[in-house]
Amino acid sequence: MFTQNAILSDGRPFADFITLSLRDGANLKADFLSALRQLPKLIATVNKAEPTCQIEWLVAFSDQAWSQLFEQQKPSALVPFTEMKQAERHFPATAGDIFVYVKSERMDLNFRIAKGVADLFEPIAEIIEDTQGYQYLIDRDMIDFVDGTENPVDEKRVNAVLIGDEDPNYQGGSYITLQRYVHNLNKWNDLAVSQQEQVIGRSKADNVEFSGEKKAPFAHINKGKSTDEAGKEIPMYRQNMPYGNAIEHGSVFIGFAKSPEVINISLRKMIFADEQGHYDHLLKYTRAVTGCIFFVPPADFLNTL
């Protein structure tokens, strides 16, 4: 079983998140296959010219795209992203059929690939989002807290994200939930550090997890965690990345899991107030502007097309 290489690897200094929306077309399937077959060649050409930059990438598909593009059985957990809303909090469901994710040491090379992807798929799809993410203060999110600390590593990461026996046709594949968040950094920076720490549930400077009463019930690390009915954590792998300029900026949330339901559980905990009225207070300072679910096929599935 071969897995597309951007699923399990660590974050890199630069990433590109490219979302395309399918157009109507008489030869949709044939034109799609022709573009898809050229995609590895595009990456190989850039890689060959700059062998030290080690580009990692993946291509993934939405529920609707799967029905339009593939004859093969639909992956068993593939569903569209469902909008969630409560009070002023909103997770919109937005357009997106094909998703290409590229990460490397260099923004310019990611750009060349993003432009190449747009050109390759032009006959059948329109590029609707291209977000260029970058490493921020070494390992911090744009809210200036270390992000990714509790991510699973090694075997635990593999077990958290890769599909196994539950869907034998697609072993080695995975699911992505993708949301772009726009931060209100002025509002966030108006908080005292101790208030920001309460919102996250960890200390800011040395990144230590709070415990006991110090960890607020509305803390992001409580609400963001996916759990089963018995309260046991269900792991996911987050490769979040800051993006943007002084006008608009925030985080791309890109979460990998064996099933999109793992991340849906977290999203519901974050947005919907619990019996005590607690929701994720991080949502007071950031808002999601996109929301999509994609299936990442195993590499050997793509090679057979």
The reply to whether 253 sits near ligand HEM by the rule CB under 6 A is yes
* Amino acid at position 171, single letter: Q
Q: Please answer whether residues 76 and 175 qualify as being in contact, where contact means their C-beta atoms are separated by less than 8 angstroms.
A: no
Q: Which residue's beta carbon is nearest to the bound ligand HEM?
A: 224
The stretch near ligand HEM (CB under 6 A) out of 31-39, 75-83, 126-134, 262-270 is 262-270
Give the whole-angstrom CA distance, residue 13 versus residue 242.
10
Site for ligand HEM in 221-240 (CB under 6 A): 221, 224-225, 238, 240
Q: Determine whether 147 is an active site residue.
A: yes
Q: Please answer whether residues 172 and 162 qualify as being in contact, where contact means their C-beta atoms are separated by less than 8 angstroms.
A: yes
Alpha-carbon dihedral sign for residues 86, 90, 95, 99: negative
Site for ligand HEM in 178-207 (CB under 6 A): 179, 181, 200, 202
Catalytic residue (one of 31, 147, 167, 280):
147
Rounded to the nearest whole angstrom, what is the least distance from the CB of residue 171 to ligand HEM in the complex?
24
* Amino acid at position 186, single letter: N
The Cα-based distances of 246 to 128, 168, 184, 290 in angstroms read: 22, 46, 11, 20
Phi, psi of 298 (to 5 degrees): -65, 150
Give the whole-angstrom CA distance, residue 11 versus residue 135.
9
- Options 117, 120, 127, 267; binder of ligand HEM; rule CB under 6 A: 267
The reply to whether 46 sits near ligand HEM by the rule CB under 6 A is no
Rounded to the nearest whole angstrom, what is the least distance from the CB of residue 258 to ligand HEM in the complex?
14
The reply to whether 291 sits near ligand HEM by the rule CB under 6 A is no
The stretch near ligand HEM (CB under 6 A) out of 31-39, 54-62, 129-137, 248-256 is 248-256
**177: helix, coil or strand?**
strand
Give the whole-angstrom CA distance, residue 142 versus residue 17.
17
Site for ligand HEM in 59-78 (CB under 6 A): none
- Options 56, 147, 244, 254; binder of ligand HEM; rule CB under 6 A: 147
- Options 95, 148, 171, 234; binder of ligand HEM; rule CB under 6 A: 148
Which residue bears the tokens 């339009």? 68
Give the whole-angstrom CA distance, residue 257 versus residue 259.
5
The reply to whether 241 sits near ligand HEM by the rule CB under 6 A is no
Question: How long, in residues, is the chain?
Answer: 305
- Helix-, strand-, coil-residue percentages of the chain, each rounded to 5: 35, 25, 40
The reply to whether 255 sits near ligand HEM by the rule CB under 6 A is yes
Rounded to the nearest whole angstrom, what is the least distance from the CB of residue 63 to ligand HEM in the complex?
19
* Amino acid at position 200, single letter: I
Identify which of residues 53 and 146 has a Cβ nearer to ligand HEM in the complex.
146
* Contact positions vs ligand HEM (CB under 6 A): 141, 143, 145-150, 179, 181, 200, 202, 220-221, 224-225, 238, 240, 251, 253, 255, 263, 266-267, 286
Residues marked active site are found at 147
